Structure 1
Amino acid sequence: MGKPLRLVLVNDTERTVGALRDALLAAGFEVLAEVASAFELAEVVARLQPDAVIVDTDSPSRDVLEHIAVMHQDAPRPIVMFTGDGDEAHIRAAVRAGVTAYVVDGLTPARLKPVLDVAIARFDEERRLRDELADTRRQLADRKLIDRAKGLVMKRRGLGEDEAYQLLRRTAMARGVKLAEVARQLVEASELLG
């Protein structure tokens, strides 16, 4: 078995989270910190770098969701929220804030590991898809930039499309940079010179 998952536990309830902490420890998880307020969440997560965050709340407040969203933006982690609130609007708001799994009245020790495993797998898949989307967008932006630079070379040098592309490519290779970087420099210079 690998090393235990490292967790930060957020208590946003009036009751103590001792039973939840004990159940997490019994399931083989390591609880790095217990946070009494979501206000501390971003700082604690940045400092401790846990594998996941567990939030115990009666009902997710706007403040809690805002702090989760900030943490999710700065240091995304799988977030599992255990709550007694099954209101659809609260569920949607929690998911928009970055909650990976929203579990209503399901705080039983036997379910902890499977719920966390699913939340982590879902988080990893969403991250992979986000990275893939960002890469596709970057490639599309690079392609548009290269096409624009190619058009500039064609116009200024009187070259055909293939010849202009090959010139840009040779220039990139000679400079040891990516083709998109040469295209960006050419477009910027063209805009500067008018």
Structure 2
Amino acid sequence: MRHLRIVVVNTIIHAGDEDDASLLAQAERARALRIGLLEAGYDIIASLPPDMYLPERIAQLQPDMIIVDAESDARDVLEHIVIATRDERRPIVMFTESDDTESMEAAMAAGVSAYIVAGLQSDRIKPVLQVALARFKREQKLLDELSDTKSKLAERKIIERAKGLLMERQRFSEEQAYQKLRSMAMSKNLKLSEVAQRIIDVEDLLG
């Protein structure tokens, strides 16, 4: 089994006073995170800044998971990550020192699978990532099932409308209209909903 390919997004601003206690603390956090990931056997394929190029870089790298290391409020980086994962969702884990409820809610709304406050011990990283991955997979399964259900409902509405048109135009019974749709679908090797949509399109065209 291959190791997870991880992109780390770090909000540290490298420019500034090297004696700045805040910057030094952030640098130490980044180092601890990297060591913890490597010790747990994960494959860090890139460490990226949270800039405007982040969505493009993530699209190029195609990581299995995104980890955000943020000292405090990370709304800007979350916006970039939302854009980067809009078309292809990925599990996102955020390690931060901010326990602000509003920041936490914003992170979860942006698609963060796990929001970890003040918990960057190396021995905790692996179980946290495993739980985040399991949660992401469960949520993705629910979203897929919801999408499938919506798709089936939409197809059913299309079929019902086409049946109604056949019943109105050709004086078919409901069963006769359904059998007509079924026969056309079989003869043209199309789905029932595709034939139904064609009938509706013709009706809309002719008015």
Deviation at 1:60, TM superposition (A): 3.0
TM-score normalised by L of structure 2: 0.90
Q: Does 1:11 align with 2:10?
A: yes
- 1:10·1:53 contact (CA, 8 Å) conserved in 2? yes
Structure 2 counterpart of 1:121, from 107, 125, 134: 134
Q: Which amino acid aligns with 1:19?
A: A
- 1:60·1:94 contact (CA, 8 Å) conserved in 2? no
CA distances 1:13-34 after superposition (whole Å, capped 9, x unpaired): 3432222111100110000000
Structure 1 counterpart of 2:95, from 82, 103, 107: 82
User: Which secondary structure state, in structure 1, belongs to the residue aligned with residue 72 of structure 2?
Assistant: coil
Relative CO higher for 1 or 2, CA cutoff 8 Å, sep ≥ 6? 2
CA distances 1:131-189 after superposition (whole Å, capped 9, x unpaired): 11111111101100100000001111111101100100110111011000011110111
TM-score normalised by L of structure 1: 0.96
Give the 5 Å matches for 1:20-39: 20-39=33-52
Q: Residue 99 of structure 1 corresponds to which residue in structure 2?
A: 112
Give the 5 Å matches for 1:51-90: 51-90=64-103
Q: Residue 16 of structure 2 corresponds to which residue in structure 1?
A: none
- 2:82·2:111 contact (CA, 8 Å) conserved in 1? yes
RMSD over equivalenced CA pairs, Å: 1.1
User: Which secondary structure state, in structure 2, belongs to the residue aligned with residue 73 of structure 1?
Assistant: coil
Q: In the aligned structure 1, how far is the partner of 2:52 from the partner of 2:95?
A: 18
Q: In the aligned structure 2, how far is the partner of 1:124 from the partner of 1:90?
A: 24
- 1:150·1:165 contact (CA, 8 Å) conserved in 2? yes
Q: In the aligned structure 2, how far is the partner of 1:183 from the partner of 1:38?
A: 47
- 2:162·2:196 contact (CA, 8 Å) conserved in 1? yes
Percent of aligned positions with the same letter in both sequences? 49
Deviation at 1:38, TM superposition (A): 4.3
Deviation at 1:49, TM superposition (A): 1.0
- 1:38·1:68 contact (CA, 8 Å) conserved in 2? no
Q: In the aligned structure 2, how far is the partner of 1:75 from the partner of 1:135?
A: 17
- 1:10·1:38 contact (CA, 8 Å) conserved in 2? no
Q: Which amino acid aligns with 2:191?
A: K
Deviation at 1:36, TM superposition (A): 2.2
User: Which secondary structure state, in structure 2, belongs to the residue aligned with residue 65 of structure 1?
Assistant: helix
Which is worse superposed, 56-65 or 137-146?
A: 56-65
Aligned residues: 193
Extract structure 1 runs of 4+ deviating beyond 2 A: 13-16, 36-41
Q: Which amino acid aligns with 2:94?
A: M
User: Which secondary structure state, in structure 2, belongs to the residue aligned with residue 110 of structure 1?
Assistant: helix
Which is worse superposed, 23-32 or 66-75?
A: 66-75
